[in-house]
Amino acid sequence: RDSITDIFYEKHLGELIDVIILSCPSDEADQSTSNLARNAGKVESQNSAKPEILSSICELLCFCVLHHPYRIKCNFILNNVIEKVLLLTRRREKYLVVAAVRFVRTILTSHDEHLINHIVKNNLLKPVIGAFVANGNRYNVLNSAILELFEYIRKENMKLLVKYIVDSFWNQLVKFENLASIHSLKIKYEQVFLLPTNFTTKIFRYRTSVHVTCLFAVLGELWN
């Protein structure tokens, strides 16, 4: 079984990712994405896969994440697999966009620090946020999947991701603050990153005022 798994990761995983790349619309403004498409090479662009095939590839990748966490970590980071799978957010089929979001959600279940850092460093949630904003106020499966992703990040106390999302995308998300998941995410951000700073500042001011009061009391006694 190990040898079959090795063959899959060494020879065939990359081919599946190439199928995704060449089945998604390219963004001419995104040079890195254009490079991904040019480098795929093994599959002709005219052989774009059927949506059902792309969905199955996502399911298989989720299986790999859950059952081979150590293998996928290095592979996904070195080969930018997460970025490539998220190209599916450009597809018009909403269920493929949802499949890409659930792929990210599955990755986060590992709580792997290296993968989380990779997501933040490379701004990989940008297409997810873009899909959410483009979906607007429509309540559908895509809306639910992304809100559930936010909820998971908040409940699992993934501080780095909370900070990344609010710092990078709050200007886009603020118009959805009436949604409980968005509002709760912002509150989490404030509790973790703003309240401790404010509390420390208040303590410092309190201590300073106490010291000044004591100093004046001592000087008063000496003067008398």
Contact 70, 111 (CB under 8 A): no
Task: Determine the pLDDT at residue 43.
Answer: 42
For residue 206, name the pLDDT band (cuts at 50, 70, 90).
low
What is the C-alpha end-to-end distance of the chain, expressed in Å? Answer: 90
Helical pair 159-173 and 180-189, crossing angle rounded to 10 deg:
120
Res. 175 pLDDT band, cuts 50 70 90: very high
Structural tokens at position 16? 């599946």
Domain locations in the chain as residue ranges: 2-223
Rounded CA-CA distance 48/72 in Å is: 25
Q: pLDDT class for 7, splitting at 50, 70, 90?
A: confident
For the domain spanning 2-223, the CATH number is 1.25.10
**Mean pLDDT, residues 176-184 taken together:** 96
Going by pLDDT thresholds of 50, 70 and 90, the confidence category of residue 163 is very high
More confident call, 212 vs 67? 67
Backbone φ and ψ of 125, nearest 5°: -85, 0
- pLDDT at res. 161: 98
What is the spatial distance between Cα 41 and Cα 18, in angstroms, rounded to a whole number? 8
Per-residue pLDDT for 116 more than 70?
yes
Ranked by mean pLDDT, the top range of 91-95, 202-206, 210-214 is 91-95
Strands (E) across the chain are located at none
Spatial contact of 119 and 130, defined as CB atoms under 8 Å apart:
no
